[in-house]
């Protein structure tokens, strides 16, 4: 059985909802990206998103030391 649900703020108005699994990860990702855009501006926020996306293809899946 999965652990207990945790509250995730889904609106800027202080509302709190309950999210699980994939939907919680997507809610966190959207909040993170929104925060980046507010900090860095629209263009640099989107460039940060794009660079993270490109990095998933370029970075090796196994660390070779």
pLDDT in tens, 7-63: 555 555 555 566 678 888 888 989 999 999 999 999 999 999 899 899 988 888 888
Q: Does the pTM exceed 0.95?
A: no
Tally of helices (H runs) and strands (E runs) in the chain: 2, 2
pLDDT of residue 3: 44
Alpha carbon distance 24, 10 (integer Å): 10
């Amino acid at each position: 059985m999965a652990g207990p649900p945790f509250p995730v703020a889904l609106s800027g108005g202080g509302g709190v909802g309950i999210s699980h699994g994939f939907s919680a990860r997507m809610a966190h990702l959207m909040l993170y990206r929104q925060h980046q855009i507010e900090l860095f501006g629209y263009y640099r926020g989107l460039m940060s998103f794009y660079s993270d996306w490109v990095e998933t293809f370029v970075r090796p899946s196994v660390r070779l030391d």
